[in-house]
Amino acid sequence: MDSASPSPSTTRSTTWTYWICGLLFLATTINYMDRLALNDLQSRLKSEFSLSEEQYGRVEKNFGIAFAVGSVTWGIVADMVAVRWFYPLMLMLWSLAGCSTGFVRDYDELLWSRTFLGFFEAAHWPCALQTTQRILAREKRTWGNSLLQSGSSVGAILTPLLVMSLLQFYPTNWRLPFFVIGLGGLGWVVLWLASVRKTDLLPLAENAPNAPQTAAAPWSWLLQRLAILVVTVITINITWHLLRVWQTPFLETGRGYTETERRWFLVAFGIMNDIGCLAVGYFTVVLARGGVSANRARVYGFSLCALCTMFTLATPWLGKGWMLQGVMMIVAAGALGLFPCYYAFGQEISAKAQGKVTGFLGTIAWVPVSLLHPVFGAYVDQRKLVEGPRAYDLPFAATGCLPILAAILLILGWRDMPREAKSQLADEPSPARAA
């Protein structure tokens, strides 16, 4: 394991710090394009392989379960090895797994391809959040995480545009986008290795300015925080991933959008994802500058985003058109804005075990999300016999309601460290003072 450092960012410029945040943004973009390509092309795959909605749900279930296993696996590894080389290695592996989807010949091969993709993609978040924890001050982490997370919305914008462009020249070759996106990760690896030195991104010392000051915190306080994070990560991931997977058939089958119309709809959705994600990060910085604590600023930002996602409740009463688009743009801004706040909460648990914390919470989140996809699909298959295209309405309306539960818990239970623990921490000599 690398030796601890007070704060790697003190030896590098602010420009370098934000350049690294930009690379994290690009890694997230690649990560999401690899997974969103299948969502975009699912109608063609369902037709070629004669898949029901439930079978497609199983594909997403396999991806999610593999992601859950990978989250805890790579979270442990990320705390044991140098992220400088581990991160690009994992990005190459998930890019190759993404490419493999272009070679599948049947349903079973599709299941295996997406399983490997989920397993290797899970390494992204332990590596990325470990990086932002080590290079950014506490009050700037939500903003840095916003930039990191906004890569997912840019991926949501670029994926349909790339697919449309490739299909325009090769209208029957749905496999080509998987090759193009999968190979795109190699350039990122070169940029990363050229930008990060061996002495960068060392583990934070417990007394570093960036480190979570939890050494003297009561266990009850830490466990309360962890319990709230478990509820938070489950609720926001259910909302985000049900929207990611099922918005395509909801728009095409449920509301009559053509394939091209649906792609432009999702481009706009991705733009609003990005706006919401960046806006909440800036919002928390403004509140912190105004004297609001970093924790409370994140709670306020999270709660506002949770209110936005609840607008899915209006969708059963809206047909194809501008009103549905307007409502879904509000949902889009909130759905991705939840994540930077959540990541910043998680980075306050531990300085030495950020990878394990991220991996544990990722596993907790992906298991229920994965199990819900085939349930969603089976419900739609069954209700189509009675309700036809409107079978998507009820489960889709419910997707945005869960984050408000996490917001309530955060408002009531996410407190700063008890005063007596803070006093004890202040009285303890740091290694530097002791020397």
Question: Is residue 150 predicted with pLDDT exceeding 90?
Answer: no
DSSP-derived 3-state class of residue 50: coil
Higher-pLDDT residue of 109, 130: 109
Give the span between the Cα atoms of 415 and 339, in whole angstroms. Answer: 19
Question: Is residue 419 predicted with pLDDT exceeding 60?
Answer: no
pLDDT confidence of residue 430:
40
Higher-pLDDT residue of 150, 192: 192
Residue range 390-401, pLDDT digits in tens: 899 999 999 999
**Rg of the chain, C-alpha, whole Å:** 22
One CATH from 3.30.470.20, 1.20.1250.20, 3.40.50.300, 1.20.210.10 for 12-417: 1.20.1250.20
Helix count and strand count (H, E) for the chain = 19, 0
Residue range 78-93, pLDDT digits in tens: 888 888 899 999 999 9
Residue range 5-56, pLDDT digits in tens: 444 444 677 888 889 988 999 999 999 899 888 888 888 888 888 888 888 8
pLDDT confidence of residue 264:
92
Beta bridge partners of 5: 204
What's the CA angle centered on 381, arms 378 and 384, to 5 degrees?
Answer: 145
pLDDT confidence of residue 216:
54
Read off the pLDDT band of 434 (50, 70, 90): very low
178 within 8 A of 98, measured Cβ to Cβ: yes
Question: Is residue 294 predicted with pLDDT exceeding 60?
Answer: yes
> DSSP alpha helices (H): ranges in 41-82?
42-49, 53-78
Sequence-distant (≥ 6) Cβ neighbours of residue 75 within 8 angstroms: 126, 355, 356, 357, 358, 359, 360, 362
Give the span between the Cα atoms of 249 and 257, in whole angstroms. Answer: 9
Least confident of 15-24, 197-206, 252-261, 354-363: 197-206
